[in-house]
């Protein structure tokens, strides 16, 4: 099987589509199986015949970028769904506007599904969210639907994603407490250790419980960094700190490291021979040859960490600060409002979203560095690794850089923006607030749709615009929302 068509992420080949193999490392057979799985989920959504919410979400999660590279596990998922697959090439071959809107909808619900899955595993009711996902998947297979029918559904996807994010915010804070500002060490202590990557806090808690008293320390990686802010997770003394930097550095940073790695969600890169024997996956993540943990018994990961033994001496590192979720930021709302009124704070920048390997992403570092001393940078998701090791100083008694959490915590940024608008009795678009969003994978697509649903205008999107946005759909986004591609850091500073 050598035919594939995938344009779902920002690094798609030539800015158009991966058609022979994925820039992410995904092979053509894997891409074809992900299409078959998606098609089977579409068929199941159309026939209304009792596909469980859990399988719907788990299946969609397996199609996200940098999650599942394993044909065997995708085959098993397709068999579990047990439906004849709707042929996605009828979408890819449609006229460009239909293809664009159907793709936006499909990728949007992939993002929604990922957020809902995290709530589901914490025991929260995702039935309403799943019912929208089924409706959206059904729409992808409507042969005669065009702009008139699809555009409202695309916008509605933003609304449902807001619900999914709000539910996840509730699930996380009820399960682990309200995040508190926390300084996180980047040093690695001597002795055996496990590094946990991805977004799933539930998996992290299970691992912390299972490693308690074992002599194995636990470190976060990538999007797991904000876990340190939660009282219910930081109470584990062996949750020591954060390992490494941006996800796209993993092939360099993991090489030869004497610890075990556990991926709970994206972003997994194809592992190199120098460390593949110590990488484990769970939930929707899978890669051929890696040990997959089903059933959440992490004994093999713990055994591997003990076998490798860790470092004999402390590996030095600096610190990161995290834990400025909406709870912590809004606890300072009075001081922030006063600082804006007195002129001590003149502008807020929301610089957040995904990271990635492209050179153009240095834009986000440069922009953050250029922000003036009387401004606050709100950030979230893994794009922050472009600048979270920089000391931006303080303003009005607060750090200038406030890490609000994972992409999963985007609801917090929305809440803060709404609270500021209320305090100043204006709309969000009237606030001195710039949205500069870096995107890479499908969760960022769903967040963009949420920001549009909320009527937020003049979002800067980068490092490039999605390949699946047709000229007409782009015109709609520009005319109605002022969405634009990032230009230069200097040029975008006050826009
Ligand atoms: Fe290409 Fe991105 Fe699809 Fe991977 S996920 S095949 S890099 S478009
Ligand atoms: Fe990052 Fe992969 Fe999107 Fe959660 S971890 S934001 S890219």
32 CA distance to ligand 1 middle (Å): 12
Instruction: Please give the chain's pLDDT, 495 residues, in tens.
Output: 567 999 999 999 999 999 999 999 999 999 999 999 999 999 999 998 789 999 999 999 999 999 999 999 999 999 999 999 999 999 988 999 999 999 999 999 999 999 999 999 999 999 999 999 999 999 999 999 999 999 999 999 999 999 999 999 999 999 999 999 999 999 999 999 999 999 999 999 999 999 999 999 999 999 999 999 999 999 999 999 999 999 999 999 999 999 999 999 999 999 999 999 999 999 999 999 999 999 999 999 999 999 999 999 999 999 999 999 999 999 999 999 999 999 999 999 999 999 998 888 999 999 999 999 999 999 999 999 999 999 999 999 999 999 999 999 999 999 999 999 999 999 999 999 999 999 999 999 999 999 999 999 999 999 999 999 999 999 999 999 999 999 999 999 976
Pair 222, 386: CB distance under 8 Å:
no
Q: Report CA(265)–ligand 2 centroid distance (Å).
A: 9
Q: Strand pairing partners for 218?
A: 194, 239
185 and 237 Cβ atoms separated by less than 8 Å: no
Beta bridge partners of 281: 263, 292
Q: Which residues line ligand 2 (CB under 6 A)?
A: 66, 199, 222-223, 247, 266-267, 354-355, 381-382, 406-407, 440-441, 443-444
Q: How many Å apart are CA 257 and CA 194, to the nearest integer?
A: 11
Which ligand has the minimum distance to the alpha carbon of residue 386? Answer: 2
Would you state the pLDDT for residue 435?
Answer: 97
Structure tokens given for 256 = 């030869």
- Tell me the CA distances in angstroms from 251 to 144, 254, 353, one per residue in order: 45, 6, 21
Strands of 86-221 (E only): list them: 182-185, 193-197, 217-220
Substitution site in 443, 445, 447, 461 for ligand 2 pocket (most atoms within 8 Å of beta carbon): 443
* Ligand number with the minimum distance to the CA of 382: 2
Domains in the chain, start-ordered, CATH in brackets?
Answer: 13-175 (1.20.1270.20), 182-308 (3.40.50.2030), 325-492 (3.40.50.2030)
What does the block give as tokens for 221? 């990686």
**Which residue's CA is the nearest one to ligand 2's atom 7?**
354
What is the token pair recorded at 394?
């303080």
CA 343 to ligand 1 centroid distance, Å:
45
Q: Which residues contact 312 (CB under 8 A, 6 or more apart)?
A: 190
> Ligand 1 centroid vs 104 CA: distance in angstroms?
15
| 171 Cβ contact partners less than 8 Å away, ≥ 6 residues apart | 118, 119, 122, 123, 124
Atom of ligand 1 nearest to the CA of 66: 5
* Residue 186 CB neighbour total at 10 angstroms: 18
101 lines ligand 1 (CB under 6 A): no
- From 10, 12, 19, 469, the mutation candidate for ligand 1 (largest count of ligand atoms within 8 A of CB) is 12
Nearest CA to ligand 1 atom 5: 65
* pLDDT score recorded for residue 495: 63
Q: Find out whether the beta carbon of 18 lies less than 6 Å from any atom of ligand 1.
A: yes
Are 147 and 97 in contact by the 8 Å Cβ rule? The answer is yes
Could you tell me how many helices (H) and strands (E) the chain has, helices first? 18, 16
Rounded distance between C-alpha atoms, residue 62 and residue 284, angstroms: 5
Strand 279-282's sheet: what is its strand order? 239-242, 217-220, 193-197, 260-263, 279-282, 291-293
Please choose, from the candidates 69, 82, 67, 5, the residue with its C-alpha nearest in 3D space to the C-alpha of residue 37: 82
Nearest CA to 69 out of 267, 204, 341 is that of 267
8, 226, 242, 441: which to mutate for ligand 2, most atoms within 8 A of CB? 441
- Cα–Cα dist 251/242, whole Å: 17
Nearest ligand by distance to the CA of 65: 1
Give the residue whose CA is nearest to atom 3 of ligand 1.
Answer: 6
Which ligand has the minimum distance to the alpha carbon of residue 21?
Answer: 1
**183 CA → ligand 1 middle, Å:** 35
Residues 424-430: contacts with CB under 8 Å, at least 24 apart: 424/337, 424/340, 427/455, 428/454, 428/455, 428/456, 429/455, 429/456, 429/457, 429/458
**Closest CA relative to residue 158, chosen from 457, 491, 446:** 446
Beta-sheet pairing, 279-282 with 217-220? unpaired
Among 17, 19, 22, 356, residue to substitute to test ligand 1 (most atoms within 8 Å of Cβ): 22
Does 8 sit in the ligand 1 pocket, CB within 6 Å? yes
Query: How confident is the model at residue 2, as a pLDDT?
Result: 63
For a ligand 2 pocket test, name from 64, 115, 266, 351 the mutation site with the most ligand atoms within 8 angstroms of its C-beta.
266
The CA distance from 270 to 279, in Å, is: 10
Atom 3 in ligand 2: which residue has the minimum CA distance?
A: 354
- Classify residue 309 as left (phi > 0), alpha (psi -120 to 50) or beta: left
pTM of structure: 0.97
């Amino acid at each position: 099987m050598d035919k594939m068509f995938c344009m779902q992420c920002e690094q798609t080949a030539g800015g158009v589509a991966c058609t022979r193999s994925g820039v992410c490392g995904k092979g053509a057979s894997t891409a074809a199986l992900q299409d078959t799985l998606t098609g089977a989920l579409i068929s199941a959504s159309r026939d209304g015949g009792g596909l469980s919410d859990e399988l719907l979400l788990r299946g969609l999660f397996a199609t996200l970028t940098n999650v599942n590279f394993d044909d065997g596990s995708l085959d098993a998922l397709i068999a579990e769904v047990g439906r004849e697959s709707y042929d996605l090439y009828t979408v890819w071959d449609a006229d460009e506007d239909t293809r664009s809107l159907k793709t936006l909808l499909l990728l949007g619900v992939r993002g929604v599904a990922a957020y809902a899955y995290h709530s589901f595993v914490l025991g929260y009711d995702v039935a309403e969210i799943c019912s929208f996902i089924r409706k959206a998947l059904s729409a992808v297979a409507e042969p005669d639907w065009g702009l008139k029918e699809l555009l409202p559904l695309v916008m509605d996807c933003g609304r449902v994603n807001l619900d999914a994010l709000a539910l996840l915010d509730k699930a996380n804070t009820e399960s682990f407490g309200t995040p508190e500002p926390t300084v996180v060490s980047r040093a690695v202590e001597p002795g055996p250790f496990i590094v946990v990557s991805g977004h799933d806090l539930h998996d992290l808690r299970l691992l912390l419980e299972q490693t308690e008293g074992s002599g194995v320390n636990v470190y976060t990686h990538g999007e797991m960094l904000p876990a340190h802010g939660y009282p219910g997770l930081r109470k584990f003394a062996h949750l020591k700190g954060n390992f490494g930097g941006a996800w796209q550095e993993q092939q360099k940073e993991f090489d030869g490291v004497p610890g075990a790695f556990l991926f709970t969600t994206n972003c997994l890169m194809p592992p190199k021979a120098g460390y593949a024997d110590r990488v484990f996956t769970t939930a929707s993540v899978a890669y051929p040859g890696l040990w997959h943990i089903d059933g959440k018994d992490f004994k093999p990961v713990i055994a591997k960490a003990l076998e490798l033994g860790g470092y004999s001496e402390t590996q030095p590192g600096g610190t990161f600060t995290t834990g400025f979720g909406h709870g912590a930021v809004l606890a300072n709302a009075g001081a922030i409002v006063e600082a804006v009124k007195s002129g001590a704070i003149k502008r807020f920048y929301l610089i957040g979203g995904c990271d990635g390997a492209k050179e153009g992403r240095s834009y986000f570092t440069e922009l953050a560095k250029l922000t003036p001393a009387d401004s606050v940078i709100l950030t979230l998701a893994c794009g922050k690794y472009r600048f979270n090791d920089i000391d931006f100083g303080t303003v009005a008694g607060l750090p200038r850089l406030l890490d609000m959490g994972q992409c999963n915590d985007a609801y917090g940024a929305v809440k803060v923006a709404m609270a500021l608008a209320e305090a100043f009795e204006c709309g969000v678009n009237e606030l001195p607030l710039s949205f500069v969003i870096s995107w890479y994978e499908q969760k960022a697509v769903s967040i963009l749709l949420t920001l549009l649903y909320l009527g937020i205008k003049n979002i800067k999107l980068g490092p490039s615009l999605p390949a699946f946005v047709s000229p007409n759909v782009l015109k709609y986004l520009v005319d109605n929302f002022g969405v634009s591609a990032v230009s230069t850091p200097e040029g975008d500073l006050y826009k």
